[in-house]
Amino acid sequence: MKKTVISSLIGLAFASPAFSAETIELDEVTVKANRFEHKDTEATYASEIHTASQIAASGASTLYDYLAQQTSLNVLSNFGNKATPSINLRGFGGENGHQNVVITVDGQRLNNIDGSAQLLAGIPIGNIERIEISKGSGSVIYGDGATAGAIQIYTKAKTGVTISTSWGNFGQKDHYASAGFSEQYIDLSVNLAHDSHDGFSKKDETGHKDAFTSTSQNAKLKIKPTEYLRFFAEGTSSRNDIRYVNYLTQAEFDANPRQLTQRPFSQTYTHQSLDTDQWQLGAEYDITEKLRVSATHFREDKLSDFVNFFNQMHYDYETDELNLHYDADNWSVVTGAQLADGSRRTSSNTTSKDNRAYFASAEYRPDSIDGLTLSAGARSEKVHYKFQPVSGADLRDSKHLSAWDIGANYRLSQTTSVFANYNRASQAPDIDRFFTTDFLSGVTSFNGFIKPARVKTFNLGLNHTVSNNRLRINTFYTKLDNEIYLYQDPSIFLFKNTNIDKSHKYGVEIQDYYDFSDTLSASLIYNYTRAKIDRENDGGGAYNGKDLPGVPKHTVVANLNWKFLDHAMLNLNHTWRSQAYAYNDFANNFDQRQKHYGTTNLALHYQYRNLDFSAAINNLFGHENSIQVADDAIYPVDFVRTWRFGVKADF
């Protein structure tokens, strides 16, 4: 593994002074995932922070590229779809991992009530202020589905004007424009973005490639009529057109991963139109100097249309959240209620999943013990399901979820702190798993096999920060009851959503950011993860003691930054993940395995006055990455070398 990484770390890149060696942010990093803002070295949970300057220095043109190449997350194109990628955090697997992490943008939840992954394509990377990844924690605040953790994305409150454009091979086009101002009583920012490519694989029988187009618009408004009162609003509209590649056999992939499969019934790429409109309205009021109340209403209307299959799905999401914050000298409390209603409407039925949750969380810093922070929180959540067919009887049911979290952080010295955290989380089945349809009779009923997953995670970590080095080491152990998955019986071609009775996961996570000098810096992220099945009755004992498929043991993300001129810097990134079992290989006995993932990426920026000229190469060595679903079922992903040239102007 080390030889592979070292041999691939060859190349050059440039960055502007804004992307100086200080990009690794050694001065101070804050976290606020648990609604309490403080230094990350004082947090009682494991976290990973990515700032706007780190994102800019990476040269990534999309959020997908940044998450896949620059973070500890195992992110892959979702069977050819980068708009809603697969996300594996802490060993929950490439196929189901996205359902075990909650993703929010400015507090608005992106998770769906069915099995579809979160839509990330509508978030322009140039509009991101910071990304915070909470690992093995977050269930008290984010609730249902935060079993592996949570990802919070915060967008910019723009001042001034920025315009950028880039063009590349395979018809790549990336355009972005933003403008905003901040005055005493009002902050306003707007942005427009376009991202597209003409496709990387050969044309199908209709003459189309696996092309992709995404356009989005966003506006943020904050009104501050008094020192104590703030109103805010945000709206986002995103339009996405996606064509998915089909799977190839091993021989086809080895011969040419760009080719169209030779299977007679797979000569047309899957075509999806995915449109969403999101908005939020809210207010904050400082009742006293220490007591603050906030209320927010979120709304999302989404349309997913699989054109080939004449399958339209309309999603309606509506959430109300009320929070009360209290901050004293040595302790802080936040308590609140979250009421979320979600529905999916098709031509034959409307299916809904509604969540009602109440939570409280607190941090305490005792005067008697300098450098100690204690935290605790609890959440109660009720999930209501409803299936309403166009004709026939309604089906209704409900499940109860609970979550709690305790943690501690102790500062051993000015440079070193340790933390420990114990978290309980739950995942309720999505509507695709909870209701099952007999396709011969057309009858829909409850899936009696499915239970909510119950997850307990213990985290232990160390932070060490000096003037030129920031080191964080985490270890974790996760115990699961009823982990949710899709069981397949190959002997009779049976598919069944059910639970893994008992399973566990454990690992080590290392993040290190190092300044060699004012002009040279480097960073390294390394994860070792094991995900084991202890007992699963549906497999007849064949899965017991096996590895969960789709989980690589090793992940390495390495970056090198060299500011060799006042107006130029070299940046080099390499991401490597080890082999894993194919997605459906729960018995670990398939002939073919998921091959290792590798990509080496260069970014080239040069600053002249207010202009930033850029060039970037992704997958420099053309490593042919893929997703292995089963023997002779391989989806090509990130398998070509791409390049782009661009320019950005700030006014």
Tens digits of per-residue pLDDT, 382-428? 999 999 999 889 999 999 999 999 999 999 999 999 999 999 999 99
Mean pLDDT of all residues in 350-371: 96
Residue 581 has pLDDT above 80, yes or no: yes
Name which of 99, 32, 44, 74 is nearest 426 in CA terms: 99
Mean pLDDT of all residues in 22-28: 47
User: Can you name the residues that pair with 39 across neighbouring β-strands?
Assistant: 30
Mean pLDDT of all residues in 212-234: 96
Listed in order, strand segments (DSSP E) in 494-636 are 494-515, 520-535, 554-565, 568-577, 597-608, 611-618, 626-630, 633-636
| Structural contact between residues 173 and 161, judged by C-beta atoms closer than 8 angstroms | no
Residue 183 has pLDDT above 90, yes or no: yes
Close Cβ partners of 535 (under 8 Å, ≥ 6 residues apart): 500, 501, 502, 544
Instruction: Tell me the pLDDT band of 19, cut-offs 50, 70 and 90.
Output: very low
Q: How far apart are CA 263 and CA 260, in angstroms?
A: 9
Residue 22 has pLDDT above 50, yes or no: no
Instruction: Tell me the pLDDT band of 13, cut-offs 50, 70 and 90.
Output: very low
- pLDDT value for 226: 95
Mean pLDDT of all residues in 14-23: 35
Considering the entire predicted model, what is its pTM? 0.93
Q: Could you read off the pLDDT of 472-514 as tens digits, one per residue?
A: 999 999 999 999 999 887 665 678 899 999 999 999 999 999 9
- pLDDT value for 492: 58
Mean pLDDT of all residues in 210-220: 96
Q: Is 184 exposed, middle or buried (0-12, 13-18, 19+ CB in 10 A)?
A: exposed
Q: Could you read off the pLDDT of 33-88 as tens digits, one per residue?
A: 888 888 889 999 999 999 998 898 888 889 999 999 999 999 998 887 889 999 99
Is the model more confident about 268 or about 38?
268
Mean pLDDT of all residues in 625-637: 94
CATH number, domain 2-650: 2.40.170.20
- pLDDT value for 562: 86
Residue 133 has pLDDT above 90, yes or no: yes
Q: How far apart are CA 439 and CA 617, in angstroms?
A: 47
Share above pLDDT 90 across residues of the chain, in percent, rounded to a whole number? 82
Q: Could you read off the pLDDT of 516-541 as tens digits, one per residue?
A: 999 999 999 999 999 999 999 887 88
| Structural contact between residues 285 and 260, judged by C-beta atoms closer than 8 angstroms | no
Q: Any idea where the domains of the chain sit in the sequence?
A: 2-650
> Residue 610: phi, psi to the nearest 5?
-95, 10
Name which of 101, 121, 124, 126 is nearest 111 in CA terms: 101
Residue 24 has pLDDT above 50, yes or no: no
Residue 549 has pLDDT above 60, yes or no: yes
Which amino acid is it at 153?
I
Share above pLDDT 70 across residues of the chain, in percent, rounded to a whole number? 95
Q: How far apart are CA 552 and CA 579, in angstroms?
A: 6
Is the model more confident about 531 or about 15?
531
Mean pLDDT of all residues in 249-268: 91
| Structural contact between residues 362 and 328, judged by C-beta atoms closer than 8 angstroms | no
| Structural contact between residues 461 and 474, judged by C-beta atoms closer than 8 angstroms | yes
